[in-house]
Amino acid sequence: MKLYTAAILLLFWLGVFTVHADKGSSSSEVMRKFKCVNLSTRQLNIRNLVNYEKQQVPTDAIMFVTTGGIRICVSTNQKWVQAAIKRIDERCAAKPK
């Protein structure tokens, strides 16, 4: 009878430890960061862009975020890209805080 009780207690504690370890690992997980791998060659409508992020690894690129939350990566050496960055920066500076 004691062996049976010990086995049940062992299984219970293993279950508690497994659940605790699983919850700890999911809450401490690092948020995945988007990376540009493929670059779009199309010029985007500047009015639909709300934010951007510069990236150098794995490729030198700008990741624009549209009003719909879509992320689009483009090459930094296009003329319209610098104009779009300037426009977004101006809009962000003009927003009341």
Question: For the stretch 44-67, what's the b/e string if a residue is b when 16 or more beta carbons lie within 10 angstroms of its beta carbon?
Answer: eeeeebeebeebeeeeebbbbbee
Residue 10, exposed/middle/buried by CB under 10 A (0-12, 13-18, 19+)? Answer: exposed
Q: What does pTM read for this prediction?
A: 0.62
Q: In this structure, are 53 and 22 located in the same domain? A: no
Please check whether residue 17 lies inside any domain of the structure: yes
In degrees, to the nearest 5, what angle opens at C-alpha 2 toward C-alphas 19 and 16?
5
- Look up the CATH number of the domain holding residue 84: 2.40.50.40
Please check whether residue 64 lies inside any domain of the structure: yes
Q: What is the C-alpha to C-alpha distance for residues 75 and 12, in angstroms, rounded to an integer? A: 56
pLDDT digits (tens, 9 = 90+) for 49-91: 999 999 887 888 999 999 999 999 999 988 899 999 999 999 8
Q: In this structure, are 50 and 26 located in the same domain? A: no
Note down the domain range covering 86. 46-94
Count of domains in the chain? 2
pLDDT digits (tens, 9 = 90+) for 47-57: 999 999 998 87
Please check whether residue 9 lies inside any domain of the structure: yes
Please check whether residue 38 lies inside any domain of the structure: no
